[in-house]
């Protein structure tokens, strides 16, 4: 499938999940910004969100890899001055990871394993939708 189409599907899935959780979603016009969507809290605070997803497992490993980077030709690490949250979707497990960009520690690749604690660095962010309510803290 076309990567742009797949990205649009992940963005639509994120919007649906966010709305179910009472979050207000603003969409950016065009695709030239480093973020895809914005979450606006009732107090007027904004979270710029980059949505990524995967539907394939890492070959010969139990987990999934998300490329947490921007740019069309040259991939660059997500900059916390431009993006606040990475929303990473593992499609086969129907699982979202809501990760503040500051917690990526400059990594371009994010390894996720919703079935086990293997590669557990980001497991605390699994379904951590509360990040949008409490300033970037899971739970």
Question: What's the sign of the alpha-carbon dihedral 114, 6, 33, 109?
Answer: positive
Mean residue pLDDT across the chain: 88
- Mean pLDDT (whole number) for 2-28: 92
Tell me: pLDDT of 127 over 80: yes
- Please report, for the chain, the start and end positions of each structural domain, with discontinuous segments joined by +: 3-132
Per-residue pLDDT tens over the stretch 24-76? 999 988 888 889 999 998 888 899 999 999 988 888 877 899 988 876 677 78
Kindly report whether the global pTM for this prediction surpasses the value 0.75: yes
How do residues 29-40 score in pLDDT, each as one tens digit? Answer: 888 888 999 999
CATH number of 3-132: 3.40.1350.10
Q: Which residues of 93-106 are buried (b: 16+ CB within 10 A; e: fewer)?
A: eebbbbbbbebbee
């Amino acid at each position: 499938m076309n990567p742009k189409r797949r990205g649009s599907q992940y963005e639509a899935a994120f919007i649906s999940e966010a709305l179910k959780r009472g979050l207000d979603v603003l969409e950016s016009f065009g695709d030239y910004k480093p973020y895809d969507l914005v979450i606006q809290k009732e107090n007027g605070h904004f979270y710029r969100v980059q949505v990524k997803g995967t539907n394939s497992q890492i070959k010969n490993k139990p987990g999934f890899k998300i490329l947490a980077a921007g740019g069309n030709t040259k991939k660059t690490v997500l900059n916390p001055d431009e993006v606040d949250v990475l929303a990473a979707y593992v499609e086969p497990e129907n699982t979202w990871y809501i990760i503040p960009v500051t917690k990526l520690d400059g990594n371009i690749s994010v390894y996720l394993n919703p079935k086990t604690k293997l590669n557990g660095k980001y497991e605390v962010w699994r379904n951590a939708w509360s990040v949008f309510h409490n300033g970037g803290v899971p739970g």
